[in-house]
Structure 1
Amino acid sequence: MTNRRVVITGVGVTAPGTPGVKSFWDLLTAGRTATRRISFFDPSPFRSQVAAEVDFDAELHGLSPQEIRRMDRAAQFAVVTARQAVEDSGLEFSSVDPDRVGVTIGSAVGATMGLDEEYRTVSDGGRLELVDHRYAVPHLYNYLAPSSFATEVAWAVGAEGPSTVVSTGCTSGLDAIGYATDVIREGSADVMVAGATDAPISPITVACFDAIKATTPRNDDPEHASRPFDASRNGFVLGEGAAVFVLEELESARARGAKVYAEVAGYATRSNAFHMTGLKPDGREMAEAIRVALAQARLNPEDIDYVNAHGSGTRQNDRHETAAFKRSLGEHAYRVPVSSIKSMVGHSLGAIGSIEVAASVLAMQHDVVPPTANLHTPDPECDLDYVPLVARDWRTDAVLSVGSGFGGFQSAVVLADPGLVRS
């Protein structure tokens, strides 16, 4: 591993509500929610009938009819969002050796919506036991293979370097950024287009989370259904979306006068080797990921100005995470503001880690910490400063963003002003 430092120079966001970075940040800082009754299908048979949906028009966002036909909704999100990030970076990709440009896209559930829709078509609404393949779209294989997401983004930006999909459940969005950072650090690429996408709001996904009672049944009040760290919470709200970034080697970015949002100063991931969906209450594995990420960044716990929590709104996650912060940050855990944007944009599975990184770099850019919406009655066991209801003006030079995923994955990313990082 070399001493190359990696920075974020371009940001693209397609989040619930109106897509785009500005709309996303306006929603967060206003403390508004994008959750509503599911509109993609009739949700009435299901226990949980609410979700955070993106108001997305693929054609309006520049995709051709052929691209729309070829790509699942999640792939469409990835391509549109990658183009946003590339434009925002100001980097002329045509001036960079394409062999030195790579792509890493995270996704937990791949082309769920496309596969669900195609199954309904080829099975005639589930009535045929032996499906009729003649009714399938010609690009059905692309839906089956999540690697097509990285392929589509690579085509869109002209990347011919390392290209991969990371699928580690709900930490995919953090892990994709961590992996891309390592690729630049080791010298295998100079530029990486990295992030994550998921569009899981389909009957099969809703049914699966219903079965384990992970999602909220608060259907009569969608706007206030997602309540991380609140004593009245009763499950998370499913979401969708994407966030993609342009990552560059620091000195190259400075040489071309690029706007630097943040340095990806530290990253680590751990597994609890314990349970597919369960979490140990002591938060040890997440705390270890945080400790290693801080050590890699050469920062102390006291250097962290804001923690962007996983904050899913389930009892076991909120308490596990609170314990992890206390274990890894010590007394500073009681002083640093912590918040969960899932209270406003829901939980988009593999995509949410990247969407939360976008929120983190925007918090650094604007020195504003987004709130935890709907937090009226804190769980007594979640006794940290979870920034209830209202955004807070706060000097933010270093942010810790964490994720927790099915399978026992625990990941942490440290973002910092390059001037703060000790070289």
Structure 2
Amino acid sequence: MLDLLLLRKDLPSVIARLETRKKPQPFLDVAAFQALEAERKTLQAHTEALQARRNSLSKQIGQCKARGENADALMAEVAQIKDELEHSAARLEQIQAELHALLLAVPNLPHESVPVGADESANVEVRRWGTPPQFDFPPKDHVDVGTPLGLDFETGAKLSGARFSVMQGPIARLHRALAQFMLDLQTGEHGYTECYVPYIVNADSLLGTGQLPKFAGDLFAAQKGGQDAEPTPEQAALYLIPTSEVPLTNFVRYTVLQESELPRKLTAHTPCFRSEAGSHGRDTRGMIRQHQFDKVELVQIVHPDKSYETLEAMTRHAEAVLQRLGLHYRVMSLCTGDLGFGAAKTYDLEVWLPGQNTFREISSVSNCEAFQARRLQARFKNSQGKNELVHTLNGSGLAVGRTLVAVLENYQQADGSVTIPEALRPYLGGQTRLAPGA
């Protein structure tokens, strides 16, 4: 959530920055905001005048009583002022709630270093690593490579519907090995604490990280009653997690940390559940866009002065997975029009997929600055002894299914087998290749 004081101080500047995301900016109802702010100011001025009048009357009442004079009229006016003050306080509370609701729909402001652009075509390549593999045969995509190894979309569809898959045998073991490798790398070399978290969270948790209310349609809700396509918050008190960023970041909800406790570096391997409501017709073949997929998530809770150097470090932490696996990739700085809702700046890692002859996103690493912390009321006690909002960052380290896709396509052999990257072999008992029927 944006800082309300910033909007009050310099609304035109905020609108200009939001318009770099999309112009004209559709996020903030400016007229409604200005009307509420004008009413708030009027009410506050009126409240202050009433309080001053009440104080003056109270003094007069005391003086009258000291002189033995009748003060009924003055006391009646004080009672009337009390009623007006209660009415004003109730309306001010309502205005604050309405302003809060308006701001819940407004995305984060892009950092000044983010390239300006309308969509992904304006994203800027930062660097590349490695080179694409060379084949002496036409490379297949992961569906054709993986199916003989136990990748099964038909059974997934029979069990749950489209965009679900089943893995059996060698490919299921490879999938598990990838997740274990990622966790060991991030905990053993980069200092993250491994966590086990709930796969179902309450609405407050999703509100805190920015998925609610704006992206309710992308979530799977656990309904308490009714069969509505979009259950009300009362019907859907719990939701399947879209990413473990949600529970991990919510560790610090309504918390005041000591400065010495920063940074907090957390990681978890979980399934993720997304309805992909806004992506119908996209990536319908294979594992690129599934309703259920696994991810190793990285979250850091940091001092505000450290968040941008942390963003660079976390991006390197995610890159380390690809480098150990020998996978060619590039790092992209997302433009303003392609930023996620809560992000001030994001780097995407895009891995080379020879079966598709293109780069595909495999990780996003984002600095949310204080945007989530303001929703979460996540703070720390700074060196002056004052409570200050932390900065939150999150990133994939990596999406396990998409990493599996990359391994299948980059390490495929002409005979249908797949060479196992050296980094994964200890997790597979020293095995060097996966072969159909093996």
Structure number with greater CO (CA < 8 Å, separation at least 6) is 1
Q: Going by fraction, where is helix more abundant, 1 or 2?
A: 2
Q: Rg larger in 1 or in 2?
A: 2
